[in-house]
Amino acid sequence: MRFSIDEYAKTFKMSKEMIQNKIRTKRLNYIIESGVTYIIVPRSSLDEDKRREMDESSKQTTAANIPTTTTPKTSVGMVISLYQKENHHLKLKIKELEAKIDRLTNDKEDMLIAERKRIEEIYTAKDEQLKNILEVLSTKLMLSNNSNTVHDVDVAQPNALSIEPKGVIELKRYLKFIGIGSEDRKLVRRRFSERFGSDVRIIQKEGEFYVDLSKYDYTDLL
């Protein structure tokens, strides 16, 4: 083992002057390297306590020379950076969710519009059908009311009629009522047209002929 003068003085509790004196008198083995004097001490010449002490000192020196790996401390800047990254990630997620919500809302609105149009078309068709039904019912009701104004006729024989005097009746309606055919109705109308103006029984209003069964008998014209 070798010691520098300082190490030798510390280990063996000697002053530097005494060590220098021993070196001069050659009572210590030494070598000089790069201008530094090292004292050579055989390990076997040391007692047990001294060797143990030197071993402990060597271990401490070695441990002191080994660089220790320290865990880097978390700084405020690192924490802020992490929060910024997390915040950016959350913002992206929020944008994606908002885009999905917008798409769903638009799809729902399109579905509602399409459904509304379909319902409107159904109701329009139903309204048209109802209108047609009401028109038919109204027409039938008008015909029924008009037929109620026709005088009651008791048919004893095909051309022998007994009509109660209840007012003026349109000629064509009267002819239909008593069962005269289309060709015969044309013939009767021609007779009325020829007699119009000369026969007081023949009444004309707005281009249509009327009969007054309560006053006159038209058997000769039928």
Instruction: Convert the pLDDT of each residue in 111-161 to its tens digit.
Output: 889 998 888 888 888 888 888 788 778 776 766 665 554 444 444 344 434
Tokens for 18?
Answer: 């005494």
Sequence-separated (6 or more) residues with CB below 8 Å from residue 195:
201, 202, 221
Can you give the pLDDT at residue 62? 54
Give residue 145's pLDDT: 61
Q: Answer whether 3's CB lies under 8 Å from 11's CB.
A: yes
Distance CA 131, CA 124 (A): 10
∠ CA 124-125-129, nearest 5°, is 115
Separation CA 77–CA 60 (nearest Å): 37
- Side-by-side strand order, sheet with 208-212: 168-170, 208-212, 203-205
Q: Is the pTM of this model over 0.95?
A: no
Q: What percent of the chain has pLDDT over 70?
A: 77
Q: Report the pLDDT value the prediction gives residue 209, as an integer from 0 to 100.
A: 92
For the chain, the average pLDDT equals: 80
Q: What is the pLDDT of residue 144?
A: 61
User: What pLDDT, in 10s, does the model give residues 155-183?
Assistant: 434 443 444 445 789 999 999 988 888 89
Q: Give the mean pLDDT of 68-78.
A: 67
CA distance 145 to 222: 26
| pLDDT at res. 191 | 93
Rounded mean pLDDT, 89-114: 90
> Of 117 and 44, which is predicted with more confidence?
117
Q: Is 99 helix (H, G, I), strand (E, B) or coil?
A: helix
Mean pLDDT for the stretch of residues 87-94: 91
180's tokens:
């005269």
β-pair partners for 155 = 161
User: Cα 186 from chain centroid?
Assistant: 72
pLDDT of 92 above 80: yes
3-class DSSP assignment, residue 201? coil
